Copies of this chain bind each other. A is one copy, B any other.
Amino acid sequence: MQIKKLLPLAAAAALVPAVGFAQDAAVDMTPPNEEIGYIFTTFMFLVTGFLVMWMGAGFSMLEAGLVRSKNVTMQLLKNIALFSIAALMYYLVGYNLMYPGDGWTITNVLGAFSATTLEPVGVAGADTDLTYASVGSDFFFQLMFCATTASIVSGTLAERIKLWPFLIFTVVLTGLIYPIQASWKWGGGFLDANFGFLDFAGSTVVHSVGGWAALAGALVLGPRIGKYTKDGRVNAFPGSNLTLATLGTFILWLGWFGFNGGSQLYMDTAGNVADISRIFANTNTGAAGGAIAALIATQLLYKKVDLTMVLNGALAGLVSVTAEPLTPSLGAATLIGAVGGVLVVFVVPMLDKLKIDDVVGAIPVHLFAGIWGTIAVVLTNPDATLGGQLISIVIVGAFVFTVSLVIWLALKAFMGIRVSEEDEVMGLDRSELGMEAYPEFTNS
């Protein structure tokens, strides 16, 4: 193939005389039959699902790069452990709780508790309880969203939380908190049925949920020693490895194509795959808008560009277009992302003023940009209402923040969630794990 593209107008003129494909005997735009559509959609879930799985590596690298070297091993351990816990809890409880079908125990609010089974297989070898894709592929794809939510929390609470309380919180978050609130929208619950809430890929359902859980944890846990001085200064604790943080950002950017693209949920027609394409393009430009906005904003505000702000700006851009990656034009997606990027630049110092110590900036990126993105749906999607979006943001936020707060407080009361002062100064790697991430390099 040598010319990369037909001259589009000429080609369209030749092939689509007046009224479009379907009228043209030479071009057969009949949608595929259900079996072919089933294969397309299922394979799409697997491909986009592995991209979202890859985001687990992205969060690990981002967080390991933004903490100090004395806490890197612990941060890595938490990330691989939370990903594994999400896999188990979503299988044991979460998936069926999130998609109750006819199995609501409280109608449209709480589903039933049961473990996932991927059998049995029906006619033509297909699963019987979904007609457009295999249950296994849907489970695989949805699981990765649950894991993403947990990944968001670990960054905020880094460098001072004990391992086991964090893992216990992860069990509750991935087994109960995430699936219950997700059922309200994606399982056909009351936010979807009664409030007309629109959240395409989860600015609220995934990202703000992680953000609220992290915020509750940060308030209970308190800031790191030395972060905020008595005379009101904020000490910067620079990340130990910015190449890792950048790698993590690129991984997340890549994974987000799966996150948003796969949320189309169907790839069985030309229309659906064209929609997925628009989503890919908008997701990319949203990230670019966020990165460039943060680049310019930090140059203007601080006279120096700040790489970590640019990285978080890209991520905030991604979160911002996640609630509606399909209806915006490329230009609108860029601007929606750019607002997210600017938000980060202003919210990071604001949190510091409130002495809320968010080690990697997950709250600005996932909570604030998540709220912004959810509201921004009304700008391009006429089906969304400002009221429906706002009430849903509030309901989800109140639920997740309250339940998380209770759990963090309970964990604090029963087992303690914070390492000792001595251990925190020494670093969690040596004190909790007896293992350093870079044993030959650190100057300390």
Q: Determine whether A30 belongs to the interface, using a CB cutoff of 8 Å to chain B.
A: yes
How far apart sit A126 and B80, CA to CA, in the bound complex (Å)?
41
Q: Which of A62-84 contact B (CB under 8 A)?
A: 64-65, 68-69, 72-73, 76-77, 79-81, 83-84
Contact of A32 (CB < 8 Å), options: B39, B87, B291:
B39
CB pair A270–B129 under 8 Å, yes or no, is no
**Contact of A198 with B by CB under 8 A:** yes
Residues on the B chain within 8 Å of A334, using CB: 88, 91
Q: Which residues of B contact A349 (CB under 8 A)?
A: none
Asked if A7 meets B188 with Cβ closer than 8 Å, knowing A254-B54, A438-B441, A441-B443, the reply is yes
Which B residues lie within 8 Å of A314 (CB)?
80, 84
Total residues of chain A contacting the partner, CB 8 A: 171
Classify the secondary structure of A's interface with B. helix
- Which residues between 1 and 19 of chain A lie within 8 Å of chain B, taking CB atoms? 1-12, 15-16, 19
A128 within 8 Å of B (CB atoms): yes
Contacts of A273 in B (CB 8 A): 38-39, 42-43, 134, 137
Q: Which B-chain residue is minimally distant from A243 (CB atoms)?
A: B64
Q: How far is the CB of A381 from chain B (nearest CB, A)?
A: 10
CB pair B60 A102 closer than 8 Å: no
Q: List, sorted by A's number, 23 A–B pairs whose CB atoms are closer than 8 Å.
A: A1-B265, A5-B187, A6-B132, A8-B130, A16-B128, A21-B122, A21-B123, A29-B34, A29-B123, A32-B39, A40-B43, A42-B270, A73-B242, A80-B314, A117-B329, A125-B269, A134-B273, A137-B277, A242-B438, A243-B438, A305-B433, A307-B435, A308-B435
A311 in the interface, Cβ–Cβ < 8 Å?
yes
In the assembled complex, the CB of A415 is this many whole angstroms from the nearest CB of chain B, namely 14
Chain B residue contacts of A432, Cβ below 8 A: 304
* In the complex, chain A residues 389-444 whose Cβ is within 8 Å of any chain B Cβ: 432-444
Take A46-B261, A129-B12, A288-B84 as given contacts and tell me if A244 and B243 are in contact as well, using a CB distance cutoff of 8 Å: yes
Q: Contacts A42-B274, A118-B329 known; A9 to B102 CB distance under 8 Å?
A: yes
For A80, give its contact among B44, B241, B304, B311 (CB under 8 Å).
B311
CB-based contact A53/B284 at 8 Å: yes
Please tell me if the beta carbons of B242 and A437 are within 8 angstroms of each other in the complex. Answer: yes
Which has the most chain B C-beta neighbours within 10 Å: A47, A264, A273, A287? Answer: A273
Nearest first, the 8 A-B pairs at minimum CB distance are A125-B271, A136-B277, A20-B123, A57-B250, A87-B288, A4-B186, A134-B274, A84-B288
